[in-house]
Structure 1
Amino acid sequence: MDLAARILERGRVRLEPFEERHRDALAAVANADTELFHHIPFPIATMGYGAWFDVLRKDQAAGRSIPHAVFADDQIIGQSCYLNIRPRDAGVEIGSTWYARAAQGSFVNPSAKLLLIGNAFDQGAERIELKTDALNAHSRAAMLKMGAQFEGIHRKHMRRADGALRDTAWFSVIREDWSTVRAGLEARLG
């Protein structure tokens, strides 16, 4: 797998690998509604989005992640990232995803997942991982709805923003699942 950063587009949705020029627009959306980050392990509410942007950019520079600014109708509305890139194992996680409330439940997430998953498989991935706080029923339902396979709960897997240990629900899409998952996402988009 040779996962390279690139702009991904489908219809009204565009994902651009992070650049410094994305910082202010992402921060404006994020800081306007910090409740969006209730299940994100980074303390956005206390540290502000800019600190998280810095962490993601550092991981991006080190080749550990490819964070994307997500646009809908040419407006930044959130982010989604390739994380834990493992070229040797042909695996990658898609996560640190959040969208402004107005974009939730819309065409944005199915479009973004089609782009990110399809691009990863096109570049040689064999396994896509998705994970969320086990208490995040909304994200868990979205992962199941898109056809990802639930793989179980990793107990006390990572720290929440408040320092408490969280249980993490793990999901995956492997290459053999992709045609079914893709068809389901495309059907949701009409």
Structure 2
Amino acid sequence: MLLTDPVTLENDWVRLEPLSPDHSGDLAVATEGLEYAWYTSAPTADGIPGEIERRLAWRAEGHMNPWAVRRRSTGRVVGMTTFCNIVQADRHVEVGHTWLSPSAQRTEVNSAAKLALLGHAFEACDAIAVELRTHFHNRQSRAAIARLGAKQDGILRNHRLGPGGTLRDTVVFSILPHEWPAVRLGLEERLSRG
């Protein structure tokens, strides 16, 4: 299976559905309360249709595979996530462009989504490396990535321009195939504790 193939991924906690304009309404509601996150690129409610269009264009170009994240306990779409920076020839992918509604943060949703995405990358797509990147100042995201069992590869200094001309340092983590079994067990254990 290719990293770019649109496919539904699910487990007991989340259903990752190939992103479509049909998700616009729920995603607009899910953006409420994200204004505090200056260091991340969560869209505004008004920006959701354009963000869906942009991610679908990148999928058509072969660079991204985007999903809407549906929380199974409520049936609501609570965010987006993607495979991005896909290099199919090298079986290399990044999990990124992820944002979750404040109501889904620090719940089972992120761990369950990562379990589904990483399982798909390593088990169905035979990935040789999965990267996760975040803004240096996004300490919540950095801690969550480290808890997954991902290893920090380094920091790309002045990697991108951010809001208002700020310079973003990007922290790069990765998980390799031989690390996936331990990462999977850690995620399953965390999810089993509720």
Do Structure 1 and Structure 2 share a fold, with TM-score over 0.5?
yes
CA distance in 2, matches of 1:21, 1:63: 21
Name the structure 2 match of 1:116. 117
Where does 1:36-47 land on structure 2 (aligned, <5 Å)?
37-41=37-41, 44-45=43-44
- How far does the alpha carbon of each residue in 1:34-59 deviate from its partner, in whole angstroms, 9 at most, with x for none? 326422247x3597333322211211
Contact preservation (8 Å) 1:148, 1:172: yes
Instruction: Tell me which residue corresponds to 2:58.
Output: 59
Q: Which amino acid aligns with 1:134?
A: F
1:105 aligns with 2:77: no
Question: How big is the shift at 1:135?
Answer: 0.8
Equivalent residue number for residue 127 of structure 2: 125
Aligned position for 1:95: 96
* C-alpha distance in 2 between matches for 1:150 and 1:112: 20
SS in structure 1 at match of 2:144: helix
Structure 1 residues 25 and 47: CA distance shift in structure 2, 3 A: closer
Q: Against the structure 1 CA distance between its residues 28 and 151, is the aligned structure 2 distance closer, same or farther, given a 3 Å change threshold?
A: same
Please give the alpha-carbon distance, in whole angstroms, between the structure 2 residues aligned to 1:137 and 1:40: 11
* Preserved contact between residue 149 and residue 171 of structure 1 (Cα < 8 Å): yes
C-alpha contact (below 8 Å) 2:28/2:44 kept by paired residues? no
- Using the aligned pairs only, state the percent identity: 37
Structure 1 pair 165–131 and aligned structure 2 pair: CA distance change class (3 A): same
Which residue identity does 1:28 align to in structure 2? V
Cα gap change, 1:47 to 1:28, in 2 (>3 Å):
closer
Dislocated runs of 4+, deviation >4 Å: none
Structure 2: segments with no counterpart, 5+ residues: none
Query: Alignment partner of 1:84: what SS?
Result: strand
TM-score, normalised by the number of residues in structure 1: 0.92
- Equivalent position of 1:21 in the other structure: 22
Per the alignment, residue 138 of structure 1 pairs with 140
Please state if 1:181 is matched with 2:180. Answer: no
Give 1:48's aligned residue. Answer: 47
Work out whether residues 34 and 101 of structure 2, in 8 Å CA contact, stay in contact via their aligned partners in 1: no
Contact 1:60–1:66 (CA under 8 A) maintained in structure 2: yes
Contact 2:29/2:45 (CA < 8 Å) preserved in 1? no
- How far has the Cα of 1:89 moved from its partner? 1.2
- Pairs aligned (count): 188
The answer to whether the 8 Å contact 1:155/1:166 transfers is yes
CA–CA distance in structure 1, aligned partners of residues 163 and 66 of structure 2: 20
In structure 1, the partner of 2:168 is 166
Kindly state the Cα deviation for residue 154 of structure 1 after the two structures are TM-superposed. 0.2
Any unmatched runs of 5+ in structure 1?
none
Q: Any conservation in 2 of the 1:69–1:78 contact (CA below 8 Å)?
A: yes
Please give the TM-score of this superposition, normalised by the length of structure 2: 0.90
Measured in 2, the distance between the counterparts of 1:151 and 1:23 equals: 35
Contact 1:41 1:161 in 2 (8 A): no
